[in-house]
Amino acid sequence: MEPIGHYFKIGLIAAMAYPDFGNNPVAAVERIARDSYFDAVELNPIPPEHRKAVAKVLAPSHLTVCCGAQARLLGSGLNPNDLDEAGRQKAEQTLIQGVDEAAELGAQSVAFLSGKWWPQTRKKGLEQLLKTTLAVCRYAASKDIDVELEVFDYDIDKGSLIGPAPLAAQFAAQVRNHYQNFGLLVDLSHIPMTYETPEFVVRTLRPYITHLHMGNTVIAGPDLEAYGDEHPCFGFPSSENDIPQLVVYLQALRQEGFFNRQDPYVLSFEVKPRSDEDPQVVVANAKRVLNRAWALLD
């Protein structure tokens, strides 16, 4: 069996794995840059005073850098599909600032998520989201940066407009009519929250997927620890994903042509230690789970 690194760039979402990222992003990025298991790193927004130091660490690392602007929206309460035009424009502006940050850090892509929605105004919300996405894609194209919309749950935790896989595919097709630097980010941990399967999601979204995450979720009951979009370690009590589910995910990716030697996709862990867990142990858990799942592929 060939190493998984022949087919994917294995990444880690720094701020999720290392909760002290906000206070000391340089230390978190250094940990990942020193670990040759990883070929990619994903960065949450970094305060301007730390960006040069982070860029200095990244420059000799040979890591592929991706930026996530989800926190820009979630932390401020901004909604890219806001029905209020002034609110939508504020969301658009912060995402454009995220593109500038990605360029400053030498990133190849910037990801975001859709906002809250209401059934009676879903059509209008999609129109607003399209406006925002096209504007961000247009600006990002001038910086040679890709834009990726992450597919989230629509009624459990984030309650995002995008959303179930068929709707995500329809929306992505609309954007691709205008910009080729747009794609979808699919996360294994979100698939149970949209009541879908890895096979269905990967097959439905195949033409538009440009980036992949793998992680875990608890959705069996709202009274359970780590319920919702909390990304506990693989095999967490009452959770949905462990080695067998990751095997199914990898099988679906192989079947739909995502094993790519020449231009590997970024496939990143999104794992978050609980308050009493050692981040390094949680990261090691993720590596062991992926190593075993890869070994179990037929």
113-156 pLDDT tens trace? 999 999 999 999 999 999 999 999 999 999 999 999 999 999 99
Q: For residue 148, with 0-12 CB atoms within 10 Å meaning exposed, 13-18 middle and 19 or more buried, which class applies? A: buried
Domain residues for 88? 4-296
**Average of pLDDT values for 50-62?**
97
pLDDT score, position 196: 98
Q: How many CA atoms lie within 13 A of 122 on its CB side?
A: 10
Number of domains making up the chain: 1
What per-residue confidence (pLDDT) applies to 37?
98
Mean confidence (pLDDT) of the chain: 97
Predicted model pTM = 0.97
CA terminus-to-terminus distance, the chain:
10
Which band of pLDDT confidence, cut at 50, 70 and 90, is reported for residue 53? very high
pLDDT tens per residue, range 148-196:
999 999 999 999 999 999 999 999 999 999 999 999 999 999 999 999 9
Q: Judge if the upstream peptide bond of residue 235 is cis by omega within 30 degrees of 0.
A: no
Q: For residue 59, what pLDDT band results from cuts at 50, 70 and 90? A: very high
Provide, rounded to the nearest whole percent, the portion of the chain with pLDDT above 70: 100
pLDDT number for residue 16: 97
Buried/exposed 1-30: b ≥16 CB within 10 Å, e otherwise: eeebeebbbbbbbbbbbbeebeeebbebbb
Q: CA torsion sign, 3 to 232 to 230 to 251?
A: positive
How would residue 214 be classed by pLDDT, with cut points 50, 70 and 90? very high
Alpha carbon 181 to its chain's center: 16
pLDDT in tens, 76-95: 999 999 999 999 999 999 99
* Secondary structure (DSSP) of 71-132: HHHHHHT--TT-SSHHHHHHHHHHHHHHHHHHHHTT-SEEEEE--B--GGGHHHHHHHHHHH
- Locate tokens 């040759």: which residue? 36
- Residues 58-62 have a mean pLDDT of 97
CATH number at 219 reads 3.20.20.150
Torsions phi, psi of 212, nearest 5? -135, 145
Query: What is the pLDDT, as a whole number, of residue 51?
Result: 96
- pLDDT category at 298 given cuts 50, 70, 90 is confident
Res. 5: pLDDT tops 90: yes
**pLDDT over 90 at 101, yes or no:** yes
Q: Measured at the alpha carbon of residue 201, what is the angle toward residues 168 and 10, in degrees to the nearest 5? A: 100
Question: Is it the case that residue 1 has pLDDT exceeding 80?
Answer: no
